[in-house]
């Protein structure tokens, strides 16, 4: 395939992948509704969705819900004020966000690598979280495009988009750290002088005010500067733990026979361990190839997940690791004698990933724990 043809086919392929993956996930939802007799609100409104909806309705009145950043609940609240269904709006936000996120990955990887990377991301095993009212798609859209603008040297735009990301998830703090490394290694608009680098990094003060403002709000509301951390520790066992202890706590959840009364729980926890390993591998590759900012972005998240009580929610965080998807896209498109074997390998991965995506979506829509 020639470069020109790839450039022309790329946008169409990304759009097709977005439509196809969203259709598959919505068909799974339709099957669940048909087989259970549930309403779509019941099937879509599981787990964290219920927290986001309650925060949108009642504010941070419920115990431990300070663990959730206010960006998405504020959008849902705004929708309710004009008479729109909050769950439906949440799905629209995720659907639109997943489109922008996929396009951001393509921009980061270029016509060939980025196209494959975006398609693989859209069919990721945990892609169900990019169609339901969760924060993954919205955050990824902000974060990926913030990275795009930063690489272009457009740091004002990068800062504004990063501020949006910081309003949605605590992962925004890791984004700011990684963008800071990018600023100090890349400079501003092609100027690599230290003055230009510091000027680029200075823009990150703007998005840093967002999590600080949330901390101040919680201090006033809850009377504690550590309200977010306390909510995480009390509600989801995310207190600081040494990595070896975190792994030790995870082992009982992955051994044969674990959670015999809850089929699928052990599989989810095993996937959490795999996701941690993937994150470590991606971080090492980025370090070896001197992609310091990308290594910071993934590495800090791996550190955070392996220093809580046990490995949890890493499966969803994989959706935020754009370096992983770009590495897969690069692997599939790299020229050479083994290119056919690599294409076959990535195609097999895509097929397996789609099957797992369907299984994962069915778990979520039927109310089973899905990470």
Backbone angles phi, psi at 188, to 5 degrees: -125, 115
Enumerate residues 6+ apart whose C-beta is below 8 A from 81: none
Helices (H) and strands (E) in the chain, counts: 17, 0
Q: Which two tokens stand for residue 250?
A: 């995870």
Dist. CA 71–CA 19, nearest whole Å: 26
Neighbours of 290 (CB within 10 A): 9
Is residue 36 within 8 Å of 141, Cβ to Cβ?
A: no
Instruction: Evaluate if pTM is beyond 0.85.
Output: yes
Is residue 134 within 8 Å of 50, Cβ to Cβ?
A: no
Residue 191, strand partner residues: 188
Domain ranges of the chain: 3-365
In this predicted structure, what is the pLDDT of residue 6? 47
The three-state DSSP-derived secondary structure of 180-211 is HHHHHHHCECCECCHHHHHHHHHCCHHHHHHH
Mean pLDDT by 10 residues, the chain (371 residues): 50 94 97 95 94 95 90 97 96 98 96 94 97 97 98 95 97 97 83 87 97 96 90 82 91 86 88 96 97 97 94 95 96 76 82 95 94 82
């Amino acid at each position: 395939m020639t470069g020109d043809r790839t450039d022309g086919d790329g946008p169409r392929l990304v759009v097709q992948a977005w439509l196809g993956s969203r259709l598959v996930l919505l068909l799974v939802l339709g099957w669940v509704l048909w087989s259970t007799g549930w309403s779509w609100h019941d099937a879509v409104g599981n787990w964290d969705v219920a927290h986001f909806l309650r925060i949108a309705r009642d504010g941070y009145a419920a115990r431990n819900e300070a663990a959730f950043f206010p960006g998405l609940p504020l959008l849902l609240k705004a929708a309710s004020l004009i008479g729109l269904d909050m769950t439906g709006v949440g799905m629209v936000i995720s659907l639109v966000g997943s489109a922008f996120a996929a396009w951001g990955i393509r921009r980061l990887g270029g016509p060939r690598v980025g196209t494959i990377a975006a398609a693989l991301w859209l069919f990721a095993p945990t892609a169900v979280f990019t169609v339901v009212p969760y924060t993954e798609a919205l955050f990824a859209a902000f974060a990926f495009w913030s990275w795009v603008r930063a690489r272009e040297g457009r740091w004002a735009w990068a800062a504004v988009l990063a501020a949006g990301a910081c309003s949605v998830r605590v992962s925004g703090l890791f984004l700011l750290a990684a963008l800071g490394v990018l600023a100090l290694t890349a400079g501003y608009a092609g100027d690599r002088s230290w003055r230009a680098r510091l000027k680029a990094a200075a823009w990150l003060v703007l998005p840093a005010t967002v999590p600080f403002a949330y901390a101040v709000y919680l201090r006033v509301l809850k009377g504690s500067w550590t309200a977010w951390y306390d909510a995480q520790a009390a509600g989801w066992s995310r207190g600081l733990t040494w990595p070896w202890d975190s792994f030790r706590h995870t082992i009982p959840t992955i051994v044969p026979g674990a959670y015999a009364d809850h089929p699928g729980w052990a599989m989810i926890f095993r996937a959490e361990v795999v996701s941690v390993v993937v994150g470590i591998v991606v971080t090492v590759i980025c370090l070896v190839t001197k992609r310091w900012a990308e290594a910071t972005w993934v590495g800090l998240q791996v550190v955070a997940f392996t220093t809580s009580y046990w490995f949890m929610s890493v499966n969803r965080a994989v959706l935020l690791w754009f370096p992983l998807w770009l590495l897969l896209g690069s692997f599939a498109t790299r020229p050479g004698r083994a290119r056919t074997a690599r294409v076959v390998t990535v195609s097999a991965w895509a097929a397996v990933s789609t099957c797992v995506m369907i299984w994962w979506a069915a778990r979520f829509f039927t109310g089973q724990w899905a990470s």
